[in-house]
Structure 1
Amino acid sequence: MVQCENLVKIYKANDLEVVALQGLDLTVEKGELMAIIGNSGSGKSTLLNMLGGLDRPSAGKLFVDGQDLLKFSDRDLVRYKRQTVGFVWQNNARNLIPYLTAQENVELPILLAGKRKRERALELLDSVGLSHRARNRLQELSGGEQQRVAIAIALAGKPALLLADEPTGSVDTKTSAQILDLFRELNRTLGLTVIIVTHDPRLAKKVDRVVAIRDGKTSSELIRRKSYSEELSELERAEESHVEYAVMDKAGRLQIPASYLEAVGAEKLGRLRVVIEEGRIVLLPPEEE
C-alpha cells in the first residue's frame, strides 16, 4: 500500500532551512494496521501529511496504492485525496462543521462526489456505532462521538488508506480505547489499511506494528508476537506483546533505540566498537586510548 524510499522533506523560510525527513524508508502492506510514534519534531506528522497528499516530498520516492505521488499534478492530488485516502485529525474543528448535524456532516463529502447521500451517510454512521445520534448537532455529542463522526467522514470516499493524526489526543483514556477498537474493527471488516500517528505508547497493545521515527528516519519497529485476540485471552502484558527490531537502511546504517543506549550509558560516547562474536554483531564501548 505504501512504499517510501529515501524520503526527504526540507522546509524553507527566508534563509532558514529545516530538514523534517532525512532519507526515511518505510513499507506498509495492504490491510495492515500500524502506528507511527516519535517525539515532537521527529517527522511523523510530516510523513502523514505527504501520505495524505497535503504536502510534497523534497526528494526520494513515494508510492501509495501503486500511484507515484511525486508525479502528481494538482488535479491528480485532488482526485487522490477524494478517492484513495481518508484523513482523521486530532482537532475536531478540522473535521467537522459545528452548525450541522452528525448526518449532515457525513453527507457533505458524499454530496461533493455526486452520490446519493442520505442512505450512505446513515450507513457510515452505523458503521461507527452512531446511527442513533444522526440528527444531533455537534454540541450535543461527546468528544469521542465527535471523533466517530470524523471517522465516518473519512470513510465517505471509500478510501484504500485511512490516516489518523493523534486521533485520541483530545479524549480520555476510556474513550481513547474505544476509538482504537473502532480502528481495529474497520481494519478487520473492511480490509482497510490504517496508519495512526501518535505519541501514546499504549497503542502498541492495539496495533500489529509500531514504527518509531527519530530525527527524520525510521529507527525501530515493534511487531506483534501473537494475534490481538490471543493476547486478550491470555491477559499478556503490553511490553511482552511485541518484538522490537532496530531498522537498517539500504546503506547499512542502524539506529539503536535511545532507551537501549541510555540503559548502558552509551548515549554520551559518540562511537562504539563493532565486533562479531559467535555469529552475532556485538556493540562495545570504545577501547581506552
Structure 2
Amino acid sequence: MIHCEGLVKVYKIADLEVLALQGLDLHVEAGELMAIIGNSGSGKSTLLNMLGGLDRPTAGHLTVDGKDLLKMTESDLVKYKRETVGFIWQNSARNLIPYLTAQENVELPIMLRGRRKRQRALELLDAVGLLHRRKNRLNQLSGGEQQRVAIAIALANQPKLLLADEPTGSVDTKMANQILELFRELTRNFGLTVVVVTHDPQLAKKVDRVVAIRDGKASSEIVRRTSYAQELMELEMGMRKQEEEAFIEYAVMDKAGRLQIPKTYLDEVGAGDASRMQVSLVDGKIVLTPPKSF
C-alpha cells in the first residue's frame, strides 16, 4: 500500500533550511494496522502530511496504492485525497463543523461525490457506535464521541488508507482503547490500511507494527510475533504469555549498512555518550563493544 524510499523533505523558512526527513525508507502492506512514534520534530507528522497528499516530498520515491505522489498534478492530488485517503486529526475542530449534526457532518463529504448520502451516513455512524447520537451537534458530544464522528467522516468515501494524527491524544484511556479497537475492526473486516501517528509507545500493544522515527529516519521497528486476534483468543483461553515475548524489536538498517542503536541499549552498556563503537564478528554474530576510552 505504501512504499517510501529515500524520502527527503526540506522546509525553507526565510534563509534557513530545515531537513525534516533525511532519506526515510518505509513499506506498509495493505490491510496493516501500524503506528509511527517519535519525539516532537522527528518527522512523523511531516510523513503523515505527505502520505495524505497535504505536502509534497523534496526528493526520493513515494507511492501509495500504486500512485506516484511526486508526479501527481494538482487535480490528481485532489482526486487522491477524495478517493484514496481518509484523514483524522487530533483536534476534532479540524474534522467537524460545529453547527451541523453528527449525521450532517458525515453526509457532507458523501454529498460532494454525488452519492446517496443519508443511508451511507447512517451506516457509518452505526459502525462507530453513534447512530443514537446522529441528531446531536458538536457541543452535545463528548470528546470521544466527536473523534468517532471524525472517523466516520474519514470513512465516508470508502478510502483504502486511513491516516490518524494522535487520534487518542484528547480522550481518556477507556475511549482510546475503544478507538484503537475500532481501527482493528476496520482492518479486519474491510481490509483498510491504517497508519497512526502517536507519542504513546504503549500503542504497540494494539497494533501489528510500530516504527520509530528519529532525526527524519526510521530507526527501529517493533513487530508482533503473533497476530492481535490470535493473542485475544489466547487470553480468552487463559493462555496469557509474558508481555515481552509478544514482540520482536529490530534496528532499521539503511542501504549503506548504517543503523541506529536504541539509546536505552547504549546506556545499559555505558556507551550512551560514545561517538564510536568497536565492531567484531564472533561466531557468526556482529558484536558491538564500547571502546575502553572515548
How does the TM-score come out when normalised to structure 1?
0.97
Which has the larger displacement, 241-250 or 221-230? 221-230
Q: Hey, what's the Cα distance between the residues in 2 that align with 1:62 and 1:106?
A: 30
- 8 A Cα contact 2:100 2:138, kept in partner: yes
Partner of 1:163: 163
Task: Pick from 261, 264, 272 the counterpart of residue 259 of structure 1.
Answer: 264
- Deviation digits for residues 16-74 of structure 1, max 9, x if unmatched? 11111000000000111100000111000000000000000010000000000000111
Q: Does 1:126 align with 2:126?
A: yes
In the alignment, what sits opposite 2:278? 273
Contiguous gaps of at least 5 residues in structure 2: none
How far 1:131 moved relative to its partner?
Answer: 1.0
Kept in 1, the 8 Å contact 2:92–2:147? The answer is yes
Instruction: Name the CA distance, whole Å, in 1 between partners of 2:288 and 2:176.
Output: 39
| Residue number in structure 2 paired with 1:87 | 87
Gaps of 5+ in 1: none
Q: Shift in Å at residue 288 of structure 1?
A: 4.3
SS at 1:60 equivalent: strand
Kindly state the Cα deviation for residue 240 of structure 1 after the two structures are TM-superposed: 3.3
Q: Given the alignment, which residue of 228, 237, 246 partners 1:241?
A: 246
The CA distance in 2 between the partners of 1:256 and 1:157, in whole Å, is: 41
**Residue 100 of structure 2: aligned partner:** 100
Superposed structure 1 runs of 4+ greater than 4 Å apart? none
Counterpart of 1:189 in structure 2 is 189
| Partners of 1:227 and 1:153 in 2: CA distance | 28
Displacement of 1:238 after TM fit? 4.2
Q: Does 1:20 align with 2:20?
A: yes
Secondary structure, in 3 states, of the residue corresponding to 1:171? Answer: coil
Shift of 1:93: 0.6
TM-score (structure 2 length as normaliser): 0.96
Q: Deviations over 1:201-251 (max 9, x none)?
A: 121110000000000000000000122233331344544321100001111
3-state SS, counterpart of residue 70 of structure 2: helix
The amino acid that maps onto 2:273 is K
Conservation of the 8 A alpha-carbon contact between 1:90 and 1:169: yes
Q: What root-mean-square deviation, in Å, do the aligned CA atoms of Structure 1 and Structure 2 show?
A: 1.2
Greater displacement, 137-146 / 98-107: 137-146
Q: Distance in 2 between matches of 1:18 and 1:204?
A: 30
Partner AA of 1:252 in structure 2? G
3-state secondary structure, aligned to 1:269: coil
Does the 8 Å contact 1:86/1:155 carry over to 2?
yes
Report if the CA contact (8 A) 2:124-2:155 is conserved: yes
Spell out the pairing of 1:161-240 with structure 2 (5 A cutoff): 161-232=161-232, 233=235, 234-236=239-241, 238-240=243-245
- Corresponding letter in the other structure for 1:44: K
Query: Is the 1:204–1:238 contact (alpha carbons within 8 Å) kept by the matching residues of 2?
Result: no
Map Cα deviations across residues 171-228 of structure 1 (whole Å, 9 max, x no partner).
0111111111111011111110000000111211100000000000000000001222
Query: 2:35, 2:2 → 1: CA distance?
Result: 14
Taking structure 1 as reference, are residues 203 and 238 closer, same or farther at Cα in structure 2, changes over 3 Å only? farther
- Residue correspondences, number: 289
Aligned twin of 2:139 = 139
Report matched runs for 1:46-125 at 5 Å: 46-125=46-125
Name the residue aligned to 1:285: 290
CA distance in 2, matches of 1:135, 1:211: 39
